[in-house]
Amino acid sequence: MFNDHDQSADELLKQADIAMYHAKDAGRNTMRFFDQQMQISIDTRMAMEADLRLAVTENQFELYYQPQVNHNSQIIGAEVLIRWQHPQNEFTSPADFIPLAEATGLILPIGLWVLETACIQIKSWESDFHAQHLVLAVNVSACQFHQVDFVEQVHLVIRHSDINPERLKLELTESLVLNDINDTILKMNALRELGVSFSMDDFGTGYSSLAYLTQLPD
């Protein structure tokens, strides 16, 4: 079973443990044999997690604003896009680090920073005649939205940045909404009372229940 007989029992048990978790991820009634690529994947993930934690403390993220236009090609708002400027690499794609941030809980401080920075941008636009009408859309993760104090967090950020809450839009994914529909409705109603609006992101990629959609606040 083991080609390298120089390995210690502890090392073999670690490799067996890694193979076991890969088998669990693949579903029930299956098996996996350890190969070195599994270890490489784990090492890569651990290195990125360490870098991501450092990125949070050293504020290595940047926000970009993608214009949103109406049918007349007039800019009516923008969507926030986050990028990570890794010290040793070029910008790291959100597709690479956002899933890891969600898995490790780092999405919470990152998401709060995005919200705070976006509201600062909204405030700066107030003094610009050509931008003061723009609505800025911020993506919210499920982990972030379902925090017990999420509504209070948003309220504090709006108050501290002193913005018109009608200029802030939160983008929720379909899976987030349907994960706990009752909690979602309660929080959306509370946020609507603050003046915040919503949009549905990625609708149609999952369950796509229009019946559930009609239960949500306008």
Has residue 59 got a pLDDT over 70? yes
pLDDT band at 208 (very low <50, low <70, confident <90, very high): low
> How far is CA 115 from each of CA 14, 119, 132, 137, rounded to the nearest angstrom?
40, 6, 18, 10
200 pairs with which residues across the strands? 172
Name the strand (E) or helix (H) holding 67: strand 61-69
> Which of 205, 137, 157, 156 lies closest to 177, judged by CA?
205
pLDDT band at 31 (very low <50, low <70, confident <90, very high): confident
197 pairs with which residues across the strands? 169
- Residue 169: phi and psi, rounded to 5, are -125, 135
Question: Residues 179-204: pLDDT tens digits?
Answer: 788 888 999 999 999 999 998 876 55
Question: Residues 62-98: pLDDT tens digits?
Answer: 999 999 999 999 999 999 999 998 877 777 888 889 9
Find the radius of gyration of the CA atoms of the chain. Answer: 22
β strands within 86-205, DSSP E: 91-92, 135-139, 168-173, 197-201
Q: What is the pTM of this model?
A: 0.79
CA 6 from chain centre, in angstroms, equals: 44
For tokens 């784990």, the residue is 42
